[in-house]
Structure 1
């Protein structure tokens, strides 16, 4: 039986975490928040919501280990709780709560597929972010033969067991490299993909916007990821071996 839960990894998300969770609960009763070593007390802003929303679960990781690690932890909990799918979205309010049910319905109609959000940017989106992702999308497009239209947008629905298996098969994908690499790995494993547009909103500092993306460290991580994936793609193609076996 198809069961989907919204999975929100969070690290020091401030007031935006509560705003995001409240927005999701308005349309979907099943939400699991994974606080990834947060030290700002943002998880405590959810305490008064839990008695009114029995489908809201808050998991705590003692140390910050990265987005991929938090998603893995939440997905493993979701599987044990009987959920078949997880819809991942960021805690910073950028992803559209109003599209949650639409994405869940798409996954329910194609339960064996990965439903990937394709961001529709507003005028407030930083130009550096918009243009920077074009290179990543070009490279991922090569590695997946165009199956993945946007590799960095974290608003997605995954078949939970397949996503956990992809993560457990690698020592990577624990930080900001999670979103692009897990999509590639799942395509290589033969998973069908549905690409769906979704609005994205960026908040500036005055609006409480928070970003933990470190341009040097995390761009280096992403560059290393692309080198690994391109090498694997070329090597397997030259050897005539199916990528799903890697």
Structure 2
């Protein structure tokens, strides 16, 4: 990507006060030219106030306050809309808990030279996960295999949340029609990008399980996401059959 392209990382937060300054500090140490948009869902632990304090001290930090917790996808959609209106050329996703290492963002930025969406992937050669139990690795790998089979896409880590989009990519995806608000949002946008005839690249990252705070992902959340993907995927396959028969 060009050095004059403006980049912002959208960071959704809910009860991440202990992690926010730490992760943003790491990002700016590694990439001083990258801005941050914190999208806080009215965290009761004071994350929003901490984000405001950081924004007052650093003009590279911006904050959106939402009324309550309404899903990861909804927070990202709000952040994407703000970033597009603000004129950013590259819009990224990153967790606040340190699982996505800012020091590896250069891998994604380099890959954006010939891609419309770049995903930091745990499950391509060279990718890895640190401090995950075997059952969680199996759930993530199996879930992504199921996604590839059901939706007919080649992305190996469609559920990953470390990403860079070109602004033109998001503009082509008709974000107003996106209804997925939870973790299935990641799969939805990767699939929409491919369906639009755009290029998705995956680069290996080392995903590190958080050491502070509570994870928002659980077995129940993962199963619910797969259930929603199943319903959505079957509808998509049915629509594809309808379009195929309509051509005959």
Deviation at 1:218, TM superposition (A): 4.9
Q: Distance in 2 between matches of 1:184 and 1:232?
A: 11
Deviation at 1:36, TM superposition (A): 1.8
**Cross-structure match for 1:82:** 87
The answer to whether the 8 Å contact 2:99/2:209 transfers is: yes
Deviation at 1:48, TM superposition (A): 4.2
The answer to whether the 8 Å contact 1:143/1:184 transfers is: no
The answer to whether the 8 Å contact 1:147/1:193 transfers is: no
1:183 and 2:190 are equivalent in the alignment: yes
Which of 105, 112, 126 aligns to 1:100? It is 105
Deviates more, 1:88-97 or 1:130-139: 130-139
**Cross-structure match for 2:140:** 133
**Cross-structure match for 2:178:** 170
Task: Write the mapping of 1:31-110 to structure 2, written as runs, cut at 5 A.
Answer: 31-107=36-112, 109-110=113-114
**Pair 1:214–1:234, CA change in 2 (3 A):** same
CA deviation string 1:110-169 (max 9, x = no partner): 3x5110111133451122221111222112223554431101110011123533634322
Q: Distance in 1 between matches of 2:67 and 2:37?
A: 17
Which of 225, 233, 236 aligns to 1:229? It is 233
CA deviation string 1:186-245 (max 9, x = no partner): 211212111101111013xxx314212243255224312223213413540464289xxx
* TM-score using structure 2 length: 0.84
Count of matched residue pairs? 236
1:113 and 2:116 are equivalent in the alignment: yes
Q: Distance in 1 between matches of 2:69 and 2:188?
A: 20
Deviates more, 1:12-21 or 1:66-75: 12-21
The answer to whether the 8 Å contact 1:114/1:193 transfers is: yes
Q: Distance in 2 between matches of 1:133 and 1:122?
A: 11
Q: Residue 157 of structure 1: SS of its match in structure 2?
A: strand
* TM-score using structure 1 length: 0.85
Q: Distance in 2 between matches of 1:22 and 1:199?
A: 19
Q: CA RMSD in A?
A: 2.4
Q: Distance in 1 between matches of 2:17 and 2:130?
A: 24
The answer to whether the 8 Å contact 1:16/1:208 transfers is: yes
Structure 1 spans left out of the alignment, 5+ residues: none
CA deviation string 1:33-71 (max 9, x = no partner): 110231210232344433442111011111111111111
Which of 23, 26, 34 aligns to 1:20? It is 23
1:10 and 2:13 are equivalent in the alignment: yes
Q: Residue 26 of structure 1: SS of its match in structure 2?
A: helix
The answer to whether the 8 Å contact 2:147/2:229 transfers is: no
